[in-house]
Structure 1
């Protein structure tokens, strides 16, 4: 009897401080702990019977969920990080561990333990971005380039990069000051982000140079994207300076390419665009 009482107290403490949830095999929530409710802002009544996707943040990649489901449906545990939304639509980051629940050899549901790591994730994110533009910084975009190169080789898919350099950027700083130059770079970043695809990645390579990564994209397709970016930028009228252009260099991965070699090819193509008169794609 004493053992039972202590066990119930132990479970009560766990439920209060450990964020856990259980779903059936279709992802419908069948149990949430009080700690889970506190973290999400939902009540148990709000959540029970709902799909776990009620918590999904719109920016969370489909690839994360594909990998998650592919893993747990095989009866294996899954561990990772993802971004969710509270009931008030505030975003938060979790480190989550999901285990299949078995009845004999059949999977009957899934149990998850989550830890709120929002502050930790924020610091990690800040370390990956360029402070001025909000794009990936050079270190991060290099990491992503290597990742896409590895995926290209593993799955035998094409991969291309676009190197961008703002034409005559020094004249902006000389004639209008660095503050205006910074505003141009920030606005250019916004324009490019609206034009690239959801699977593409863009980073500030340095100064007024940018690198755009296009997975599963051929050279011809990448040139089409670069032309779209060129037109999008050249048709925008900036405050103070008016219209501005950029030059573009495109390269597609080849069998023996490394990060250095594919970027060097894009940089060489960019140089050719400059030499041919600027505001061009090569």
Structure 2
């Protein structure tokens, strides 16, 4: 079976391919540079899900984005999860493989099913680097690690978050998956208004080592009545996030960009319009 597996040349824009759009995307074949799926949805042996993914990779390069490795877990990596991911990578030959800078596993295999924050300190950096090295060794290729939105902190940070990722990419050879929406969400939850949050996110971007970012994620977020801002991926990208994205492109150059939409998923055309807006901002 032949498939388009090569990483597309930048600038390029893709969308998260979710179940409500499986049929529409395959029928319409819109002009996209890549599609991204959640790796864990395709861990089963055979079945309809893998058949759909095979059809998708015939049409587009695929990015595998994981949510379950728990790279920052002190309990270690889940060997079963890593083996399933390795099998999927071998089958799909994706353009990119990514997961998050978070912890999820504790004790003897208990998984939180969430992206929980890690402290930004030397001990956490060493642990994360070891796990990223192990994953890359098993996969036989570099991976991307995403900065997360966090609603609590440990009070144990001794390294600024951008420098933490700079050092991670230096030590391990991985790339950063820069989630611009997460930067704004974290700044909002630190008490900043949208414009000030955008400026804080731009300073975060300015501190990142050029050449270390492999992909950018864009998504919408929601603000609750109590003021908490939630990274829910359930709406259009906010104006302040677009401003930070344009700033990131100006500083870091054109990068593969993904539109994420995971809750209250709209018609496919809405995602495609968001993708076109991202494409129009590329220099």
Q: TM-score normalized by structure 1? A: 0.23
Q: TM-score normalized by structure 2? A: 0.23
Is the strand fraction higher in 1 or 2? Answer: 1
Larger radius of gyration: 1
Asked which structure has the greater RCO (Cα within 8 Å, sep 6+), the reply is 2
